[in-house]
Structure 1
């Protein structure tokens, strides 16, 4: 019984693998010694993507049917699929996740449909894809973010659509400037004919670069048509007078910025060129000799592109950008490059940022210990004045007199009162002068011993 059940399961799986959808033809092809399964469905009665296509299918064609949409994960079971052709149907929409699990797919054809847009992000589910055909659709724009998913594409057919301009990002991918390409440059075949291109310098430069010797891009049809504006009659690109592209020029707001530690700084640069250049910020070094000891050894790897910045284009041909640095530290110091780029070239400006300040802690100074004076302590908020400074004569006398003790200083007023009345022969004016000087000597008793002694000797001499 168990063996019969196992045989039934195996038979069912084999039928599922090798069954062929209705209105389709399934054949086996050969590539050397390998057998390849080919499935072709081209009946007008097919309204949707068949769900029972054999899992070992390598090549699938769905042509001239009434299929109008490609749903999510429509080919999930076809992990071995290498070629997918959905040509000349009525497809108006393709889900971004339609091509999940097609990791072996190398060629995708969607020619002759009604697509007004294409989910470029869906290309990341097909890492081996090299050929993409979108000929004869209704595509009116090619978004800049498509460049993120086209690096591996070597054949791109955009002919017979409604495209008017090419984004500069795609031109950088197709025609990399010196120093931008990594490794060997891939040769690409582009189909751009039969589109109403606007007569600008970009489409003109594409044609001139494609015809140059050793160009990485080959244009299928050199006879491109362009018009001055939408709605005007088209003319051959070679007959139109086109504006010339201008390499960008960059002007920074300052070439050297010095700012204190912990402050906020805004770096700005302005660029002009045609087409309007894009700006990027690159940090090339991190510190100067002054603050190398403040930076940890495990600092960031430089140079690196900075992502948090703002840029705007107030008019065609002009763009400005700022980068904000808040709470400066020593690791923010260094060189910043503002790089402007368009299809005509690259220019850059250098801004040096220096951070000044000191993060070391300063210890408080110790108060100096004063030696105690042998003289009498001063009273609070009392200091010697100019009137109490001894004269030169008093200083000369003090050199021959030993210093008085504290008891002697305290007795100075009594001595003065006894000495002054003794001089009876002093005349009036002299007596008044002696009295004044005795008053001064009395006030100076709270001062230092030197001042008190000088006042005493002066009164005695008079």
Structure 2
């Protein structure tokens, strides 16, 4: 009997050990083969790595299971793990300690996920990793030291990502490349290393020169899965193979101006030109007397990949427009600038200023208001004030709903200022008006716009503030008795504007103040003159494209 009891206990213990080793994750299947024990989970809604996973797996394959993250230490219990496949999930985040405890891992596949970046230092915990598959993700950058943490890597797949620029130093710092370079031409000393870099939107400008040169010269044991890498941009190189592309080194901007001293009479049109040569293309900015230009838009023309020009046009030269203009060109290599001086001869001051804004006082001021920026939640207004008395701050900007008597007020000083207005409502009409300080806003000196409809969905939020500008800019002159034509007014209205000003001046000689300044759209001017001029005037009013005041 004692012998039987011992035998039964031995059988029972063996059964318990065997059943424990065969434990599997619910909803998955487990198998044993010559490579060890494997876990296979497909199309299971688990969203995270199972916490009760047995420790004896050498291969784990979790695919199409809606995983969204690899948390720190989530696989640290699987010390024997050699193969980890996590393809076709929705992984967006990989932590610096996601691979902690996986010192025996030799193969990691993360194909078809949503990774936009990878913490490359995480591979310090996987010194034996040979295969890394990251294709069909959204990686847009590869740091120069990324591969330095992968000393045993022999296969790297980065195809079908969003890489546009890679430095050649990425591969120079790769331990296997360094070993291959030392044993170059000595067959058998170094294993072949396979790289897959095709189907990325490569931007073939000077940034990519080192990488293009690397691709052209690479040879075994370094092997490209596809050596026909293709440029996606710029336009002049789109669709060309690396082997057919000649790239130049990057260059700091060089600026020049055909004329650096401009003298024109009062009221004349001034065109300031600046030529730029840079690689890559430079960002161009104009400043006037050390202030950013906001009143006039610059026209930029691209001549070729390296050369461009910028023209700043001043339609009607006025005293405040005199001074030093600077054209600044910048790229990542540095910046360069050229100065242009604008003068108005004193002899031209005796002549009367041209319409549509005649003035009869030395205390003249000009203000230009525009919508400088639109966001999903609001806008940024920018204004430029120039006056003969720069120490005075005597204008007020009123902003709010068009039909609301209560508006936010901002005091406007000389030079350029800006202010952002957030949390604007959809399908709402707003206005920004300029008045004398302390005076209430009134129609005729306003930027008016309407916000678009709210789609109501989160992904449509960026398009919530679809601004329709009714009056895009306003030019106000002091003193009063003047009609200021809005942006977009036709020449016929400018002519009428001058005539109406003379008539108003005769009627209200001596009694005007700033509060009497009016601005007229095409509609307003044409309507005012209907009583005297019909026929052609009526035809001009029809189909008008000028901005209307409300």
Q: Normalising TM by the smaller chain, what interval?
A: 0.3 to 0.5
Q: Could you state the TM-score of these two structures normalised by the residue count of structure 1?
A: 0.46
Q: Looking at both structures, which has the greater relative contact order when contacts are Cα pairs under 8 Å and sequence separation is at least 6?
A: 1
User: Whose helix fraction is larger, Structure 1's or Structure 2's?
Assistant: 1
TM-score (norm 2): 0.39
Q: Which of structures 1 and 2 has the bigger CA Rg?
A: 1
Which structure is higher in strand share? 2
